[in-house]
Each structure stands twice: as structure tokens, then as C-alpha cells.
């Protein structure tokens, strides 16, 4: 369903391309469903007989509802791995379309709204839904609820008709599927700046996914927060952070994507990430101070949102899809590196105990 700009000028003022409006809502609902279990999955797997390093490996493959009762590590990894393939194809495909369809002077703000929808679901509103669902229906039933929300987001995305057309011109469509796919690899050496930007993407995304494994246990076991307090903290952090996504997007369109990315994103999130770990320890479990530091991290993490717009600007228009593919691939690699590191640490701990 395509919405005309003339009929919805308020969307233009907000920085949302009207033709993509339904897509933002679909991504929000899809990511809420995807984020429901994100902040209790690792403790839940551990409680149900899986070791912490196996839980980390499952998240690396990033389904659960069918395989949890069987306690089968192989089935769990395979089915959750399928989910890990599905969510980036859904969400990041829409991000590619934004970079193609949004006017250049709206690209930062349009990307900001995408990340508001993305982080609004994973982990923000997903954690909020989990708080109430776990209390009312239990942890296992909550996994089924997440599946329903994902399906609703998928159905709503079908209303976004503007994304049905091909992004390639006639010349590139005639190259064949294999040549088109290889273009996603060729761009790494034909455009070296894309390769450098991919390294930045891996670095900036690693803490974000690492916190899904680390923070639940850290807050509940070391700091002493309850599960509800831990989920509430993540929800508040996400709500504050997501509210700044459109604001930071607008700022980046005005003062420059690179400046926001390096200063606000790199320096700011690095400092706030350290505060998020040390302040709860130094304050002897002060929930208020922990929330403040978490909110600061959520806000500064928004500094990385111009990365997608920057990726697409570093190449020729015909290669925008390949550039965003590398952007998404780098984000996926960061999840793999997080889980690999967690597995290594778990093995070392097991050896010491033996």
C-alpha cells in the first residue's frame, strides 16, 4: 500500500518516507516478537539443563518452542539458527529499501526511524511484553507469544507494496543471480572503504548482542536484581534509547554522518558501556544509578545509526544493496564473535574447576 506524500505531509516533516510507513510498523511488531525472549533465553536454557557455553552457541546461530521440551542441543541450534536467518532478511531487507527509496536529505532521519522500530522491538518492548507474559502465562508460553507477534508483523508487511519492485535496473538483472550475489563479495576489494566500515560495524554491534548473554546473569547473580528488575532496566534503556533515534538521525543529516558516528557513537558509547558495568558494582546494586547508566548507553548507541546511510554513500548507486548486505553481514559476525568468546571463557572456567 503506497501512501502519497501530498496526503501525508506530516510524515515528511517527521522524516518518514510516506511510501514506507507500513514497513516501519511491520518491523516494530516483528522485532517485538523477536525480542520477547532475548533477555531471558540464556538463563532459561541454563535452568533447563543446557550449559552456559551451549546457550551462547545457540544464540550465536540465532524455533525454540518446538525443541526446548526435547532438550536436544542439535535441534535447538538448527531451529533457532533458522530464526537467525529469517529476522535479518526481514528487517535488514527493509533497511536496504530505505537507502534506495528515501531522498538523500531524509536518509539519516529515515534510518533513525528504522532503528526506532528495530530497537523498539528488540529488546525494548519485547522485554516489556516478557515481563507481563512470564507472570501471567509462564516462560515457555511466552515463546509461543513471540511467534504470534512475528507472524503479525509479517502479515502487516504485505501491505507495504512499494517494496515489491526490483531494486536492479534491466542491465544488472541480466547478469544472473550468481553474478549478482558475487557482487556482495567483490565490493569488499573494489570499495576498500566498505571493508573498513564493516570492521567498525562489527565492533560497534558486539557489545549490543553481548549484553543479551552477559547482562541477565550479571544483574541477577552478581548485582542481586530480580528478573523483573533486570527486564525493567533493559526496557527503560531501550525506551530512552529508541526515542533518541529519530533525533540523532535529524542531527546527523545536519552536522554530518561521520561526526555523529565517531564522537557520539564511538566515544560516547565506549564511556557509557564502562559506566554500565562499574557503576552497579560501585554503588552496591543501586537500581536508580544502574538505570541512569543504562539509559546513557542507549542514547549514545544511537550515534551509530548513520552507519547504514554512510555505507550506502560510499559506493555507486547500483551497489547500495551490496553495501547494506555487508553492513548486515558484519552485524551478524559480531553475534558470532560474542558467543565464541563466551564459549572459550566457559571452557576455561570448566578446566580451572576440574
**DSSP notation for 221-257:** III---HHHHHHHHHHHHHHHHHHHHHHHHHHHHH-H
Instruction: List, in order, residues 6 or more apart from 85 with CB less than 8 Å away.
Output: none
Ranges of H-type helices in the chain: 9-14, 21-35, 41-47, 52-61, 64-67, 73-101, 107-119, 126-137, 139-157, 170-173, 177-190, 192-217, 227-255, 257-259, 268-282, 287-301, 306-313, 320-353
45 vs 131, which has greater pLDDT?
A: 131
Highest mean pLDDT among 156-170, 173-187, 311-325: 311-325
Is residue 60 within 8 Å of residue 200, measured between CB atoms? no
pTM of the entire structure? 0.66
Which residue carries 552457541 as its cell?
57
Work out the mean pLDDT of the chain and round it to a whole number.
77
pLDDT of residue 174: 59
Say how far apart CA 133 and CA 91 lie, in whole Å.
Answer: 24
Say how far apart CA 148 and CA 142 lie, in whole Å.
Answer: 10
Domains of the chain: 9-163+175-353 (1.20.1250.20)
Dihedral class, residue 166 (left if φ above 0, else alpha if ψ from -120 to 50, else beta): beta
Per-residue pLDDT at 108 exceeds 90:
no
Compute CA 83 distance to the chain's CA centroid, rounded to the nearest angstrom.
14
pLDDT of residue 280: 94
35 SS3 class: helix
DSSP string, 55-95: HHHHHHH--HHHHGGGT-HHHHHHHHHHHHHHHHHHHHHHH
Cell of 144: 509461543
Per-residue pLDDT at 139 exceeds 60:
yes
pLDDT digits (tens, 9 = 90+) for 304-339: 888 877 877 887 777 777 787 788 778 777 766 655
Amino acid at each position: 500500500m503506497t501512501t502519497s506524500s501530498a496526503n501525508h505531509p506530516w510524515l515528511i516533516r517527521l522524516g518518514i518516507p510516506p511510501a514506507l510507513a507500513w514497513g516501519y510498523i511491520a518491523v516494530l511488531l516483528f522485532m517485538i516478537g523477536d525480542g520477547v525472549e532475548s533477555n531471558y533465553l540464556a538463563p532459561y536454557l541454563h535452568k533447563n539443563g543446557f550449559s552456559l557455553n551451549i546457550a551462547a552457541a545457540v544464540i550465536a546461530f540465532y524455533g525454540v518452542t518446538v525443541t526446548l521440551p526435547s532438550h536436544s542441543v542439535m535441534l535447538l541450534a538448527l531451529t533457532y539458527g533458522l530464526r537467525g536467518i529469517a529476522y535479518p532478511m526481514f528487517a535488514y531487507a527493509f533497511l536496504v529499501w530505505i537507502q534506495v527509496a528515501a531522498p538523500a536529505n531524509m536518509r539519516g532521519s529515515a534510518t533513525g526511524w528504522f532503528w526506532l522500530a528495530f530497537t523498539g522491538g528488540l529488546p525494548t518492548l519485547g522485554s516489556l511484553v516478557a515481563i507481563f507474559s512470564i507472570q501471567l502465562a509462564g516462560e515457555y508460553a511466552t515463546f509461543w507469544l513471540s511467534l504470534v507477534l512475528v507472524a503479525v508483523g509479517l502479515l502487516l508487511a504485505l501491505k507495504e507494496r512499494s517494496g515489491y519492485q526490483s531494486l536492479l535496473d534491466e542491465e544488472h538483472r541480466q547478469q544472473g543471480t550468481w553474478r549478482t550475489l558475487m557482487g556482495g563479495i567483490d565490493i569488499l576489494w573494489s570499495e576498500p572503504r566498505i571493508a573498513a566500515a564493516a570492521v567498525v560495524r562489527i565492533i560497534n554491534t558486539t557489545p549490543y548482542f553481548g549484553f543479551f548473554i552477559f547482562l541477565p546473569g550479571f544483574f541477577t547473580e552478581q548485582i542481586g536484581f530480580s528478573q523483573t528488575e533486570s527486564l525493567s532496566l533493559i526496557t527503560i534503556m531501550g525506551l530512552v534509547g529508541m526515542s533518541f533515534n529519530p533525533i540523532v538521525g535529524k542531527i546527523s543529516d545536519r552536522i554530518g554522518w561521520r561526526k555523529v558516528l565517531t564522537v557520539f557513537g564511538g566515544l560516547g558509547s565506549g564511556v557509557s558501556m564502562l559506566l554500565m558495568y562499574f557503576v552497579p558494582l560501585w554503588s552496591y546494586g543501586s537500581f536508580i544509578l544502574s538505570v541512569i547508566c543504562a539509559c546513557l548507553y542507549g542514547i549514545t548507541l544511537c550515534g551509530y545509526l548513520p552507519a547504514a546511510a554512510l555505507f550506502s554513500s560510499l559506493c555507486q548507486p547500483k551497489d547500495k544493496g551490496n553495501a547494506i548486505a555487508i553492513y548486515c553481514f558484519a552485524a551478524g559476525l559480531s553475534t558470532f564473535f560474542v558467543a565464541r568468546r563466551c564459549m572459550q571463557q566457559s571452557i576455561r572456567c570448566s578446566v580451572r574447576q576440574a
